[in-house]
Structures are given as C-alpha cells and as structure tokens.
Structure 1
Amino acid sequence: MYRAAIEALERWKAKKEPKPLLIRGARQVGKTWLMKEFGRRAFKNTIYVGFENNRQMKELFEGDMRIDRIITGLELYAGRKIDPEDTLLIFDEIQEVPSALTSLKYFNENAPQYRIVCAGSLLGAALHPGTSFPVGKVEFLELYPLSFSEFMKAMGKERFAELLQKSDFDLATTFRQEYIDLLKHYYYVGGMPEAAARFVENRDFNEVRGIQQRILAAYEQDFSKHAPNETVPRIRMLWNSIPAQLAKENKKFIYGVVKEGARAKDYEMAMLWLADCGLVHKVHRATSPRLPLKAYEDGKAFKLYLLDVGLLSCMASLDRRVLLEGNALFTEFKGALTEQYVLQQLKTLEGIEPFYWTNDRGGAEIDFLLDGGDEVIPLEVKAETNLKAKSLKTFCEKFRPKTAIRASMADYRNEERLLNLPLYAVETIGRRAGKEG
C-alpha cells in the first residue's frame, strides 16, 4: 500500500547525520508497517525493537546511557552486528520505556551515525508526564490515516490520482463519476489502513464495518488502560458526543451536548488526552482573518473532528445503502461527513493548520481559514452542487481576499477571485496555499 510518508522518510535518510525520527500518530494508523517497509526498501539490515511488554529491553535502557553499551545490548538481542552505514534501528511503542525516549538525546549527541526511527501512539504524553523528553534532539513526522489520494492508489486508480496531482481538471471532469464513486467509498471505508486494505481485497462493506467497530473498541480499551481513572468516564462521554456535535447546524463544540450543565474545566483533561493520542483534531475559531492566524486564535471556541471519516460514519451507524442513493451520502447528517473529510485531507498537507471564522453575531461562518503565506484563504465546504454561499459572500465583501475557495460536488471552475474545487480534489489546496501537497 502506497504511503506518501515513505518519501518523507527517504528525505530524512538522505541527510548527512539525521537526528532520530519520532513518528507520531494514533494507534492503528500504520506506524509499525511504515517503519518496517521503509527499512525493507531503504536499508540492507533492519533491527526492530518493540518495547511493549519487553522486560529485556526495558532493563537495557534503564542502565547507564553509554551508547556503546546500548548498541552491544541491541546486537545481542538481534543476534547480529549493527553496521551504522546500512542498518535501520526501529524502536516501536517507545513511550512504554521512558528511558529509551531519553536515550535519543545521547544517540544524537554522541553517536549521530546511527539511523533510528521510533514510533509512539502519543499515549506517552498522558502516561509519563515526568519523562525527560529529548527536546531539540529528535525530528518528528506526523502519520494520519490514508488520504483520499492514497486510498485511490490503493484501489488501483493511480492514474486518477495523478490527474489531480497534475491539476488536469479538464480530463478529470470527464471522469467525474468515477471520482465521485471512489469518494463515496472513502466516506464509508475511511483511511484506517486495515479497513482500507481489506476493502481493496474483498470489496465487502460489512467486513469494513466489523474492522472499524473493532478499532473503536480498542480505543475504548485504551481509555481504561492508559488514562487516569478519574478521567475515563469523561473521555468516553466526550468521545461519544462527537457525531452529535458535528450533526448540529453550527458545528462549534458545545460542552452541554456532552452532558447537561457540563463546563469546559470539567472536560479539559479528557479533551487534552484525546488530542494527545491523535484521536481528535481541534480547529479553533480565528477572531480576525489576519496573519498569523495563530495570533487571532479564540481559545474558547473550536470545532472537534475525529481522526477518520470512516470511523465517524461507523460511530454514526451510517447505513451502507446510502451509498446507492445518488449523492445523498455527501449531505448525510448536515454534511458532517463532508466537513470531516475535508479537515482530514487538510491535516495531511504539510504546514497547514486550519482555523474557522464566524462574525461577532454568529450569522456568517467560514468553514476553514488557511494561511496562504502572504494571505488568508477562506475555504467554504458545500456538501452538494448548490453553490449559494451567503457566508462566503459576506466574508469576501468585508475582507476582500485575493483568493477564495469553495469545495463542493460541482465541477472545477476558476472564476475571478473564486475557485470552485470539486471535493475529490481537496488535496490540491496544498499547492494553492503555497504548501507542499
């Protein structure tokens, strides 16, 4: 299965003496597979160390931090010599052994010739708040579920993905129905690697649902296993409220939907825990569409999304028959799946941190604001072909942006100052926002 992150790993390897690389992402987004596949492709030898329930490795790293001692221990563990020139060291679930995380500082400072790739499911932030984290001594790579272009490639539609990469919209429009059908499948299947891989193999929607339910159950087990006991009920309530939050006309997160009378301070730790584990994405309101957007962040107003559109459709018990009903899927529960889908694609684009905007009265809302380098780009998401967008018109009249984007089921059309972008081409926004896409 193609993952764009492989190319990022190859760029990391090409550096003269790269710092240890830590791959962050939720459980089951494919971190272990990615590291092993990278080792297989790019190195003569790979040594894999999984730290979960590994007493031997825990003892090795809890000794002194002399790198020659650690390397000798790893050689004995693997049963072969480690040549730093052609060996990749993989440390998986590294948050399970905090001292292994600390050792990355010493590898970077005293033995930069070793190539080390690590992964953690972000549970470390909640598990080990006292861990000595090697700030400035590691590089990071974020891994998310498969993007729509990765899903198309997995489905054997590489040429379709390439058309969009080249921005050949004339030809892409000719095959719009194929793109729409693929997008429907993606809304239902999502980008969790196991669900996508099984769907590619069997085209069985029921099997996909079973896998998604199993993933959601595993996340619920993680709540009980890893989160502080007093926080677990609130994590569960907050997590289970997300489909209802996104089904509202105004998708701003309301604590009262979680529980009547609930207040922000009661759920602060639960929210932080879910975000640290990569299970939710917060998109904050910007009080003004000016650069840098971060400077205008409203800390109290935000929208909350899941990590994957397929998991959202599973939590919402979406019936697979809706796939057959024209384009009804895209408007299902007030377009919540469509907004989730767009946010999910934006998260995979390097250097883009989306915000949203509402006017003071709350009568106008722009779904996403993007930093375009020298301008703020408003992005309006429409779940159908009806392109009437009062909020976007209000925004453009007030702030006069050089570029505005409307993503919808309509065909590509580049008008003066307004780009109509098909939903299936949302990933091309990276290039338009001056980012790598």
Structure 2
Amino acid sequence: MYRIAIEKLNSWKESKRRKPLIIEGARQVGKTWLMKEFGRKAYTDTIYINFDSNSRMAELFASDLNTNRLIMGLELYAGRKINPDNTLLIFDEVQEVPRALSSLKYFYEDAPQYHIVCAGSLLGIALHGGTSFPVGKVDFLSLYPLSFQEFLMAVGGERFAELLRMQDYPMIISFKQTYIDALKQYYFVGGMPEAVQSFVEEKDFNEVRDIQKRILAAYEQDFSKHAPIEIVPKIRMIWNSIPSQLAKENKKFIYGLVREGGRAKEYETAIMWLCDCGLVHKVSRVNAAGIPLKAYEDLKAFKLFIVDVGLLGCMTGLRQITLLDGNDLFTEFKGALTEQYVCQQLKTIDDLGVYYYTNDRGSCEVDFIVDTGEQIVPVEVKAEVNLKAKSLRTYREKFEPEISVRTSMADYRKEDWLVNLPLYAVGEIASYIAKFRFLEIESH
C-alpha cells in the first residue's frame, strides 16, 4: 500500500536540519506500518521499540537523559549496535513514557546524528497534557486515513491517480465513470488502512463494514480507558451526535443537539480531547476573507467532521445497496458524506488552512474557505450536478477572490470567475490554485 507520507519521510531523512520526528494521527491510520515500511526501505537496520507496558524502557528513561547512556541502554535492549548513519530508531506509543518524549530535546541538541521517529495513538493528548515537551526541538508529520488518490492507487488505479496529478482534464473526462465508481467505493470503504486492505483483497463490503465497526468500538474503548473519567460521557455524546449535526442543512455544530439545553462550557474539554486524538476535524467559521484567515476565526462557531468518511457511513448505517443507486450516494443525508469527504481531502494537503464562511445575517454560507498562504479561495460543495452557486456569487461580489471553486459531480469546466472541479479531483485543489495563479501572472 503506497502512502504519500513516505516521500515526506525521505525528505526528512535527507534534510540537513533534521530533528527527531513525531508522527501524529488517530489510532489505526497506519502510523506503525508507515514507520516500519520507511525503516525497511530507507535504512539497513531498524530498531522498533513499543513503549506501551514496557517497564524496562520506563526504567531506562526514568533517571538522567544523557544520550550516550540512553543509546547504550537501547543497544542492550535491541541486542545489537546502533549505527547512527543507517539505523532508524522507532519509538512507538511514546506517550506512555513521557520522559522519552522529553529526551528528544537532548537527542536533537547532543546527538543529532541519530534518526528517531516517534508515534503514539494518543500522542496529541500527551502533548497538550502538560508533558515536558521539547518545543522547537522536533519535527512533526500528520498522518490521516488514505486520501482518495491513495485509495485509487491501492485498488490498482495508479495511472488514473497519475492523470489527476497531471490535471489532464480532457483525458480525465473520457474516463470519468472510472473515477465516479472508485469514488462511490471510497465513500463506503473510506481510508482506514485495514478496511482498504481488506477491500483490495476480498472486494467484500460486509467484511469492510465489520472492520469499521471494530475500529469504532476500539475508539469507544479509548474514551473509557484514556480520557478523564468525568468527561467520558460528554465525549461519547459529542461523538455520537456528529452524524446528526452533519445531517442538518446548516452543518454548524449545535450544543443543543448533544443534549437539550447543552452549553459550550460543558463540552469544550470533550471536543478538545477528540481533536487532540485526531478523531475529529474542527472547522471554524470566518467572517471575513483576509490573509491569514486565522485572524478572522470565530471561535464560537464551527463544524465537526470525523476522521474518515467510511466510519461516518458506518455510524449512520449506510447500506451498500446505495452504491448502486446512480449518484444518490453523494446526496445521502443532505450531502453530509460529500462534505465530510471534501473536508477529509483538504486536511491531507500540507499548509492549507481550512475554514468555512457565513455572513453575519446567515444569508450566505460557503462550505469551505481555504488559505494557501498566498490566496484565500472559497470552495462550494455540491453533492449533485445541480450547479447554482448563489452563495459563492454573493461571496465573490463582497470579497473579489482571484479564483472561486465549486466541486461537484459535474465535469471540469472553467467559467469567467468560477472553476468547477469534479469531486474526485478535489485533492488536487492546492496545486490547481497554484497553477492557475502562475498562468494568471504569466498572462499579465
């Protein structure tokens, strides 16, 4: 299974300013597999250490964090010499031994020659939980479920994925049914590696659904096992309310849907916990369109999406027969799956700020507003081929963006101020915007 993150890891390895690397991401998005695969491909030796229930490692890191002493202890544990030039050190579930996290500072300062990659399914919580953390002494990499392009490659569509990267839309349109069929499968299967692997091998949607149910059950167990006991019921209530939140016409998160009379202060910690775990994406509202968008963030209004479209379908009991009903799948429960899908693809793009816009009267809403660092681009999501873009037009009249994007089931087309990007190509939005901007500059 190919993961684009491998290329980022290769760049990290070759970087002259390399620091110990922390891979963040929800449980079961493939962090352990990625680290081991990277070690196998890029190094002559890999030493893998799982810190979960590992008393020997807890003892090793309990006393002083002298790097020579730590390396000797790791060599004794592994039973072989660590060659700094061609050995990858993997610290998995590193949050279980907080002092191992603290040691990364000393590896960076005193022993930068060692290649260290760390991960942990609840690392985000450890980082926000007051652990002595080496700020500025580590690199970060976020890992998400497989994107649609990675899914295409996994199911044997490497050439089709390449075509999307090349943005050869006349050719893409010739094969659009292939993309639409794969997109339907992706809506159901999602991007959790175990579900994708099973689908590739068995092509059995029932087996996929069983895997998704197991993953959701494991998440529920994590709530009880790792969250502070007083917020566990609130985490469950938030988590279970997300499908109904997204099924509304206006997908803004409403506390009253969690519990009648619910208030923000009751649930803020629970939402933060889910965000820190990587289980939900919190997309905040902006009320203006300046750079950077973060400066216009309205912290009180937001949408919550979950980590994976396949898991959302599982939570809502989406049936596989829907895959056969023309393009009905894309409009299923008010287009919530489609908006979830688009959010998920946007989140995999590096250095892209993702927000949504409503005006103060609430008469204009744009599903996503993205900040590339150079441009603010509105993105309207249409779950069907009906292409009225009233809100986008209102937004454009007010803020005059260089480019406006609508993503839908329709084919690629560029009008004077609007580009229609097919849903299956939305993962290429950042490179499309960059290319568009370059061509605009050239033409002037």
Q: TM-score, normalised by structure 2?
A: 0.96
- CA deviation after TM superposition for structure 1 residue 417, in Å: 1.7
Q: Distance in 1 between matches of 2:318 and 2:191?
A: 16
- CA deviation after TM superposition for structure 1 residue 293, in Å: 0.6
- CA deviation after TM superposition for structure 1 residue 16, in Å: 2.7
Aligned: 1:69 with 2:75? no
Aligned: 1:235 with 2:196? no
- CA deviation after TM superposition for structure 1 residue 104, in Å: 0.4
| Matched residue, 1:213 | 213
Contact 1:373/1:433, CA 8 A, preserved across alignment: no
> Letter of the aligned partner of 1:100 in structure 2?
A
Most deviating of 68-77 and 3-12 = 68-77
> Letter of the aligned partner of 1:323 in structure 2?
L
> Letter of the aligned partner of 2:306 in structure 1?
L
Most deviating of 254-263 and 368-377 = 368-377
- CA deviation after TM superposition for structure 1 residue 130, in Å: 3.0
Contact 1:98/1:128, CA 8 A, preserved across alignment: no
Aligned: 1:156 with 2:137? no
Q: Deviations over 1:26-66 (max 9, x none)?
A: 00000000000000000000000000011111111112111
Contact 1:127/1:226, CA 8 A, preserved across alignment: no
SS across alignment from 2:323: helix
> Letter of the aligned partner of 2:197 in structure 1?
A
Aligned: 1:397 with 2:397? yes
| Matched residue, 2:442 | none
| Matched residue, 1:256 | 256
SS across alignment from 1:427: helix
Q: Distance in 2 between matches of 1:360 and 1:64?
A: 56
> Letter of the aligned partner of 1:30 in structure 2?
G
SS across alignment from 1:131: coil
Residues 124/377 of structure 1: CA separation in 2 closer, same or farther (3 Å cut) = closer
Q: Write out aligned runs for 1:266-305 (5 A).
A: 266-305=266-305
> Letter of the aligned partner of 1:319 in structure 2?
R
> Letter of the aligned partner of 1:354 in structure 2?
V
Contact 1:287/1:298, CA 8 A, preserved across alignment: yes
Contact 1:312/1:337, CA 8 A, preserved across alignment: yes
Q: Distance in 2 between matches of 1:402 and 1:344?
A: 24
> Letter of the aligned partner of 1:52 in structure 2?
D
Q: Distance in 1 between matches of 2:340 and 2:398?
A: 27
Residues 325/138 of structure 1: CA separation in 2 closer, same or farther (3 Å cut) = same
Contact 2:352/2:373, CA 8 A, preserved across alignment: no
| Matched residue, 1:110 | 110
| Matched residue, 2:187 | 187
Contact 1:290/1:376, CA 8 A, preserved across alignment: yes
> Letter of the aligned partner of 1:352 in structure 2?
L
Aligned: 1:55 with 2:44? no
SS across alignment from 1:230: helix
- CA deviation after TM superposition for structure 1 residue 124, in Å: 5.2
SS across alignment from 2:335: helix
Q: Distance in 1 between matches of 2:86 and 2:403?
A: 47
- CA deviation after TM superposition for structure 1 residue 375, in Å: 2.9
| Matched residue, 1:43 | 43
Q: Write out aligned runs for 1:256-405 (5 A).
A: 256-405=256-405
SS across alignment from 2:216: helix
Q: Deviations over 1:50-87 (max 9, x none)?
A: 00011111111112111111111111111100110110
Q: Deviations over 1:200-259 (max 9, x none)?
A: 100000000000000000000000000000000000000000000000000000000000
Contact 1:188/1:313, CA 8 A, preserved across alignment: yes
| Matched residue, 1:415 | 415
SS across alignment from 2:251: coil
Residues 200/111 of structure 1: CA separation in 2 closer, same or farther (3 Å cut) = same
Most deviating of 285-294 and 32-41 = 285-294
Alignment RMSD: 1.2
- CA deviation after TM superposition for structure 1 residue 414, in Å: 1.2
- CA deviation after TM superposition for structure 1 residue 17, in Å: 5.1
> Letter of the aligned partner of 1:48 in structure 2?
Y
> Letter of the aligned partner of 1:228 in structure 2?
P
SS across alignment from 1:231: helix
Contact 2:190/2:311, CA 8 A, preserved across alignment: yes
- CA deviation after TM superposition for structure 1 residue 433, in Å: 3.7
Q: Distance in 1 between matches of 2:224 and 2:372?
A: 41
Q: Distance in 2 between matches of 1:127 and 1:18?
A: 20
Gaps of 5+ in 2: 436-444
| Matched residue, 1:122 | 122
- CA deviation after TM superposition for structure 1 residue 125, in Å: 2.0
- CA deviation after TM superposition for structure 1 residue 123, in Å: 4.4
Gaps of 5+ in 1: none
Most deviating of 16-25 and 205-214 = 16-25
| Matched residue, 1:139 | 139
SS across alignment from 1:223: helix
| Matched residue, 1:169 | 169
Contact 1:43/1:87, CA 8 A, preserved across alignment: yes
Residues 124/175 of structure 1: CA separation in 2 closer, same or farther (3 Å cut) = closer
> Letter of the aligned partner of 1:247 in structure 2?
A
Contact 1:151/1:186, CA 8 A, preserved across alignment: yes
Q: TM-score, normalised by structure 1?
A: 0.98
> Letter of the aligned partner of 1:170 in structure 2?
P
- CA deviation after TM superposition for structure 1 residue 374, in Å: 3.5
> Letter of the aligned partner of 2:196 in structure 1?
A
Contact 1:17/1:113, CA 8 A, preserved across alignment: no
| Matched residue, 1:82 | 82
- CA deviation after TM superposition for structure 1 residue 316, in Å: 0.5
Contact 2:145/2:307, CA 8 A, preserved across alignment: yes
| Matched residue, 1:223 | 223
Q: Distance in 2 between matches of 1:123 and 1:237?
A: 23
SS across alignment from 1:354: strand
Contact 2:292/2:373, CA 8 A, preserved across alignment: no
> Letter of the aligned partner of 1:111 in structure 2?
A
SS across alignment from 1:362: coil
> Letter of the aligned partner of 2:185 in structure 1?
H
| Matched residue, 2:439 | none
> Letter of the aligned partner of 2:36 in structure 1?
K
- CA deviation after TM superposition for structure 1 residue 399, in Å: 2.0
